């Protein structure tokens, strides 16, 4: 039998010859090109025939014997009897084809649009000002942690998260958000998405209904869909989530997802009356409210309205917070605040469900909060984001004239600019994307029958000096999308 083919094809760069020989022999055995029982030449003869060192052949033979591809005994080295069959590659692919696809829930839960990498472009929503991040203070906390506690923080996280971080957070939420919570009610997560994933699986069962705001936060829908929940859309009005009697009767929820302090994306603030009514109805329906306290940190003009969590004793509310905007998204730390009644069970379940870690970062963040860096940073950023919003409002006013309709300025890092019906937001957003802007179409967040038409303009990472240029480009995009600056704003809707 001829074995020249083993080394006749060009050798891949950077792979030792003995490894190539091993790989090619193995492939030939597993494809039945070398059938079971085939006698291989003695290592010395094969080495001579191929013009290589005997050790190279020995290495390959030994490894293949160890793996069970070859059998070596006194009669020599033979191909082992293995469950392989000779068939063209295409046939094998065909047989597998049926299985090589994602699950049905992946297909339905995921939006059909291509996914763009999150980028920090002008107007990209939800991007904080990276340049203003206190790198020096944060890195000092990280370095102190590595130095002082080092390897003790390298394992999995403690139950519910680092005790110091939970305590620091309980203090912070008490003084800044008015929440009287104990550290034991806090579970550290790797961000909002992980928190929603946990709520979907630990608080609801397959087939349960979850209410999502319409328009609303798309990634929450993905989490709920992948957890097997039925997403029911509930419209949002000027006071926040506005469920009808029919919503309560025909689609009783197990979970109600809301962003009351700054509805995403419309930026509306849920009124106190609406908050109290929602808690009361949720109690009666046996539903959990998942309160994503989105953007409550960056309020303008007065304190944030009280969170649903803690408005009433024993309210069925779970509070979700994140450090993605106040620190940076890549940190991947967030938290859940839970009612006393389920806090211990939830923390125990979360530990098994997620195997959390990031002990170094958790410890450093606790340090960062304790030393006052966190509140100082929030205070600075509140001022900074306010002036960015003011500059953006001015520039938009100058560019688009008196018909301009803006909303969502009470908090957060974005404004909504409403468009008249004749100027489709999708077209403007597409034009803007081509011009390097991260503006999003409001309608992309809505499901029928709700329709809305506007632009979500993030200003978190938009320097005051860059505002005028970005707005000029936005105006160009709107014009190219078929609307003159007059037509654009003649009849605002929403």
Nearer to its own copies among residue 5 and residue 135 (C-beta): 135
Q: Contact 285/251 with Cβ under 8 angstroms?
A: no
Angle between helices 359-370 and 373-400 (to 10 degrees): 90
Of 2, 9, 117, 465, the one binding its own copies by CB under 8 A? 117
Closest approach, Cβ 476 to its own copies, in A, equals 26
Nearer to its own copies among residue 117 and residue 465 (C-beta): 117
Q: Beta 255-258 vs 209-214: how paired, if at all?
A: parallel
74 binds its own copies (CB under 8 A): no
Of 154, 250, 383, 472, the one binding its own copies by CB under 8 A? 154
Closest approach, Cβ 137 to its own copies, in A, equals 13
Nearer to its own copies among residue 67 and residue 486 (C-beta): 67
3-state SS, residue 485 = helix
Show contacts with its own copies in window 171-200 (CB under 8 A).
175, 178, 190-194, 197
Of 48, 53, 55, 95, the one binding its own copies by CB under 8 A? 95
Show contacts with its own copies in window 237-296 (CB under 8 A).
271-273, 276-277, 280, 282-288
Closest approach, Cβ 48 to its own copies, in A, equals 26
User: Which strand (E) or helix (H) includes residue 458?
Assistant: strand 454-458
Of 354, 407, 430, 476, the one binding its own copies by CB under 8 A? 354
Show contacts with its own copies in window 7-36 (CB under 8 A).
14-15, 19, 23, 26, 30
6-17 in b/e form (b: 16+ CB < 10 A) is bbeeeeeeeeeb
CA 193 to chain centroid: 5
Applying CB under 8 A, what is the total number of residues that bind its own copies? Answer: 121
Please give the backbone phi and psi of residue 71, each rounded to the nearest 5 degrees, phi first.
-120, 130
118 binds its own copies (CB under 8 A): yes
Closest approach, Cβ 490 to its own copies, in A, equals 34
Of 10, 155, 448, 449, the one binding its own copies by CB under 8 A? 155
Show contacts with its own copies in window 300-319 (CB under 8 A).
302-303, 305-306, 311-316
Q: Contact 301/410 with Cβ under 8 angstroms?
A: yes
**Number of neighbours of residue 252 by Cβ within 10 angstroms:** 15
Residues 139, 143, 145: CA angle, nearest 5 degrees: 120
Nearer to its own copies among residue 1 and residue 102 (C-beta): 102
Please give the backbone phi and psi of residue 79, each rounded to the nearest 5 degrees, phi first.
-75, 135
CA torsion sign for 416, 421, 424, 428 is negative
Of 1, 13, 98, 245, the one binding its own copies by CB under 8 A? 98
50 binds its own copies (CB under 8 A): no
Closest approach, Cβ 107 to its own copies, in A, equals 9
Nearer to its own copies among residue 273 and residue 402 (C-beta): 273
Q: Which range touches its own copies (CB under 8 A), out of 155-163, 396-404, 440-448, 484-492?
A: 155-163
153 binds its own copies (CB under 8 A): yes
Q: Contact 295/411 with Cβ under 8 angstroms?
A: yes
The CA distance from 245 to 435, in Å, is 45
Show contacts with its own copies in window 380-439 (CB under 8 A).
none
469 binds its own copies (CB under 8 A): no
Show contacts with its own copies in window 324-353 (CB under 8 A).
328-332, 339, 341-342, 345-346, 348-349, 351-353
3-state SS, residue 456 = strand
Closest approach, Cβ 84 to its own copies, in A, equals 6
Of 201, 262, 373, 377, the one binding its own copies by CB under 8 A? 201
Q: Specify burial of residue 358 (Cβ count, 10 A radius: 0-12, 13-18, 19+).
A: buried
DSSP secondary structure of 332-358: --EEEE--HHHHHHHHHHHHHHH----
The CA distance from 165 to 145, in Å, is 13
User: Which strand (E) or helix (H) includes residue 78?
Assistant: strand 76-79
């Amino acid at each position: 039998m001829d074995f020249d083919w083993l080394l006749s094809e060009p050798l891949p760069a950077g792979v030792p010859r003995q490894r190539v020989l091993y790989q090619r022999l193995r492939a030939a055995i597993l494809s039945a090109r070398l059938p079971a029982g085939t006698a291989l030449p003695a290592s010395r003869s094969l080495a001579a025939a191929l013009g290589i060192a005997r050790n190279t052949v020995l290495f390959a033979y030994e490894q293949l014997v160890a793996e069970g591809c070859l059998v070596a005994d006194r009669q020599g080295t033979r191909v082992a009897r293995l469950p392989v069959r000779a068939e063209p590659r295409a046939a094998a692919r065909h047989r597998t084809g049926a299985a090589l696809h994602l699950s049905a829930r992946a297909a339905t839960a995921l939006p059909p649009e291509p996914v763009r990498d999150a980028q920090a472009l002008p107007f990209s929503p939800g991007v904080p000002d990276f340049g203003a991040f206190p790198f020096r203070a944060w890195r000092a906390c990280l370095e102190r942690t590595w130095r002082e506690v080092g390897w003790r923080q390298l394992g999995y996280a403690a139950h519910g998260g680092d005790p110091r971080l939970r305590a620091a957070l309980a203090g912070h939420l008490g003084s800044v958000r008015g929440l009287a919570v104990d550290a034991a009610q806090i579970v550290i997560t790797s961000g909002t998405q992980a928190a929603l994933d946990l709520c979907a699986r630990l608080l609801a069962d397959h087939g349960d209904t979850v209410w999502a705001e319409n328009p609303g936060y798309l990634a929450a829908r993905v989490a709920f869909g992948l957890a097997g929940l039925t997403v029911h859309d509930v419209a949002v009005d000027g006071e926040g989530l506005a469920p009808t009697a029919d919503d309560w009767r025909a689609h009783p929820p197990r979970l109600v997802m809301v962003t009351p302090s700054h509805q995403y994306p419309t930026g509306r603030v849920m009124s106190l009356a609406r908050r109290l009514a929602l808690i009361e109805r949720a109690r009666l329906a046996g539903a959990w409210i998942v309160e994503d306290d989105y953007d409550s940190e960056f309020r303008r003009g007065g304190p944030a309205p009280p969170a649903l969590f803690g408005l009433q004793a024993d309210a069925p509310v779970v509070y979700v917070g994140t450090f993605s905007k106040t620190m940076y998204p890549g940190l991947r730390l967030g938290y859940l605040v839970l009612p006393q009644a389920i806090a211990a069970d939830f923390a125990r379940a979360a530990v098994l469900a997620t195997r959390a870690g990031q002990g170094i970062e958790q410890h450093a963040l606790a340090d960062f909060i304790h030393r006052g860096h966190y509140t100082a940073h929030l205070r600075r950023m509140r001022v900074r984001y306010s002036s960015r919003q003011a500059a953006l409002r001015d520039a938009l006013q100058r560019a688009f004239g008196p018909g301009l309709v803006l909303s969502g300025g009470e908090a957060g890092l974005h404004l909504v600019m409403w468009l008249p019906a004749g100027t489709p937001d999708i077209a403007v957003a597409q034009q803007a994307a081509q011009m390097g802007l991260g503006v999003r179409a409001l309608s992309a967040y809505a499901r029928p029958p709700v329709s809305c038409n506007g632009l979500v303009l993030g200003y978190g990472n938009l320097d005051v000096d860059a505002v005028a240029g970005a707005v000029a480009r936005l105006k160009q995009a709107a014009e190219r999308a078929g609307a003159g600056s007059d037509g654009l704003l003649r009849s605002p809707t929403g």
